[in-house]
């Protein structure tokens, strides 16, 4: 690998020529600044300031809307809770009325069934009594007929 020597020279002083072009450039800079300040810089600064105000205003308005929506949500939830409570109360009331009506209907049906059963029993007892009376009145003739069949001949009373 070859050896590369670096030649580091001592720093040299910078020479600045101060002549008439510097004064012309300085005059042009000042004139341009004086011209551009009211024409460009001031309107831009006002625009930036207005944009900042609008941004802050929009943020403030968004906060207010957020607070209002939070309040509206709270009111909505409160109203829904009241409505649910009222609906539950009404549902319980209707359910209790339904149970009461059911008990009334069942009692009525049980009473009518009991009446039908009692009427049926009375009718059956009456029929049984009529059948017994009929059998009682005809038992002599029936006994004579049965005896005749068993004996195979006619039996006299």
pLDDT of residue 10: 63
Q: How many domains in the chain?
A: 1
| In a domain? residue 28 | yes
CA distance linking residue 89 with residue 80, whole number of Å: 14
| In a domain? residue 91 | yes
Q: pLDDT tens, 29-81? A: 999 999 999 999 999 999 999 999 999 988 999 999 999 999 999 999 999 99
- Residue 47's φ and ψ, nearest 5 degrees, are -60, -45
Q: pLDDT tens, 12-23? A: 777 767 788 889
- Terminal CA-to-CA distance of the chain, rounded, Å? 166
| In a domain? residue 113 | yes
| In a domain? residue 13 | no
Domain that holds residue 122: 23-128
What does each C-alpha distance from 48 to 43, 45, 51, 55, 66 come to in angstroms?
9, 5, 5, 10, 27
| In a domain? residue 136 | no
| In a domain? residue 78 | yes
pLDDT of residue 84: 95
Q: With 90 as the cut, is the pLDDT of residue 157 above it?
A: no
| In a domain? residue 103 | yes
Q: pTM of the prediction?
A: 0.42
What contacts 144, CB < 8 A, 6 or more positions away?
155, 157
CA distance linking residue 111 with residue 27, whole number of Å: 121
| In a domain? residue 15 | no
pLDDT of residue 7: 60
CA distance linking residue 128 with residue 84, whole number of Å: 64
CB 148 within 8 A of CB 154: yes
Q: pLDDT tens, 87-139? A: 999 999 999 999 999 999 999 999 999 999 999 999 999 988 888 888 777 77
CA distance linking residue 85 with residue 87, whole number of Å: 5
């Amino acid at each position: 690998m070859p050896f590369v020597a670096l030649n580091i020279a001592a720093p040299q002083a910078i020479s600045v020529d101060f002549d008439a072009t510097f004064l012309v450039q300085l005059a042009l800079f000042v004139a341009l600044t004086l011209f551009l300040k009211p024409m460009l810089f001031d309107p831009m600064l006002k625009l930036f300031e207005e944009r900042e105000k609008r941004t802050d205003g929009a943020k403030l308005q968004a906060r207010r809307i957020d607070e209002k929506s939070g309040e509206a949500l709270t009111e909505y939830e409160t109203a829904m809770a009241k409505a649910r409570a009222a609906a539950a109360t009404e549902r319980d009331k209707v359910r209790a009325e339904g149970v009461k009506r059911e008990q009334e209907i069942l009692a009525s049906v049980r009473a009518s069934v009991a009446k039908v059963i009692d009427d049926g029993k009375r009718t059956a007892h009456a029929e049984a009594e009529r059948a017994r009376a009929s059998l009682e009145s005809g038992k002599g003739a029936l006994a004579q007929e049965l005896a005749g069949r068993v004996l195979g001949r006619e039996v006299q009373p």
